[in-house]
Amino acid sequence: MSDAASTASRPAHGTDIDFSAFRDPALARELIERIHELAGDRRINLMEVCGTHTVSIGRYGFRSIMPSSLRLLSGPGCPVCVTANRDIDHAIALARLKDVTITTFGDMMRVPGSSTTLSQMKAEGRDIRIVYSPLDALDIAETNPKREVIFMGVGFETTTPAIAACILEAAERGLQNFSVYCAHKTTPPAIRAIANDPETAIDGFILPGHVSTITGVPPYRFLVDEFRTPGVVTGFEPVDVLEGIAELVRMVVTDAPAIENAYRRSVATDGNAVARALVDQVFDPCDATWRGLGEIPASGLAMREEFARFDAGRRFDVTIEPSVEPRGCRCGDVLRGRISPNGCPLFGRACTPEHAVGPCMVSSEGSCAAYYRFREQ
């Protein structure tokens, strides 16, 4: 931990938190100076894996005040953005079935599939509803016994325990007309894929705060063991983010890679074992296709055999149209950190939040949407 950050009040995990220390301008200035001092003119590529960090970095304008040799690259940490085109097309095909209701989080509605969006399907009269929790979908199924209610399951480790609990609840209630389309993903395998990418050459990872509340710190140790690359789990306040960057730069320039937890007020080293057990009860790991990263071994979750009746992918036979990526969209390169969003020729021209071409401009945590909102260069 940096000297500057160690002066901030750091309440123990689970106690009331005084956020003023994490927004302290003097402390933030001290950390910025420290980053400049440590980095000098050394070329350093850091990646913020999580979309919420991308939004924080944009909101506080950190990209523009970093040393010119230090790049902060956005990664694959928005679950909507990394959902493969084929999964969107599959959901759209399910929505075309007779007597089917699709339920989904709001961000998925406008994500373009190969030829249409769920939002357009709804406008054409299909029964597609936004829900705020998978339990809402369960209630819709219970009150509409003549309809098949499918929940579009998209999300990382923070979301999947609630989905698992929902499936157990559906079993408990004996629901026959509820199922989930599983497009869930787990984060460490995607980070491994990026660490392996010579084209991106990431020197250090700002590791996701929310996901780590579930996973804990050990799943990231491979970064040091296999790639000699440091990582810092950190929070989303200005001092959190700057502290994470300062720590990463220190570890890079001193060649002392480690995985650190700078978000101890929320993340226990071993994460949340109860939530993980819930997920393990319902799901098994499976290979999954990520937009931009392709197929990554053991990076998805498939429902275990005893819950197969709740798996919409197995339960409904649909014809899925051939997958066509949005024309000219560079979301794949953005999600790998190969280009910044404004490196896409469509950014801010043909593609804006109002008329999004790709998912990274649709989602509130998408890199392109964040760059656009905060006018990042």
Residues that bind ligand SF4 (CB under 6 A): 329-331, 334, 341, 344, 346-347, 351, 357-358, 360-361, 368
| CB closer to ligand SF4 out of 28 and 344 | 344
Q: How far is the CB of 112 from ligand SF4 (least distance, A)?
A: 9
Q: Provide the 8-state DSSP code for 216.
A: -
Answer positive or negative: Cα dihedral of 27, 32, 35, 40: negative
Q: How far is the CB of 295 from ligand SF4 (least distance, A)?
A: 21
* DSSP result, 52-90: HHHHHHHHTTHHHHS-TTEEEEEEEE-HHHHB-HHHHHH
The residue nearest ligand SF4 at its CB is 358
Q: Which two tokens stand for residue 321?
A: 């149209």
| CB closer to ligand SF4 out of 289 and 340 | 340
Q: Which two tokens stand for residue 347?
A: 């950014």
Q: Which two tokens stand for residue 184?
A: 């869930």
Q: How far is the CB of 333 from ligand SF4 (least distance, A)?
A: 7
| CB closer to ligand SF4 out of 278 and 369 | 369
Q: Please give the Cα distance from 1 to 27 (Å, whole number).
A: 13
Burial of 66 from C-beta contacts in 10 A (0-12 / 13-18 / 19+):
buried
Number of H-type helices and E-type strands within the chain = 18, 11
Q: How far is the CB of 111 from ligand SF4 (least distance, A)?
A: 10
| CB closer to ligand SF4 out of 51 and 358 | 358
Q: How far is the CB of 354 from ligand SF4 (least distance, A)?
A: 12
| CB closer to ligand SF4 out of 86 and 338 | 338
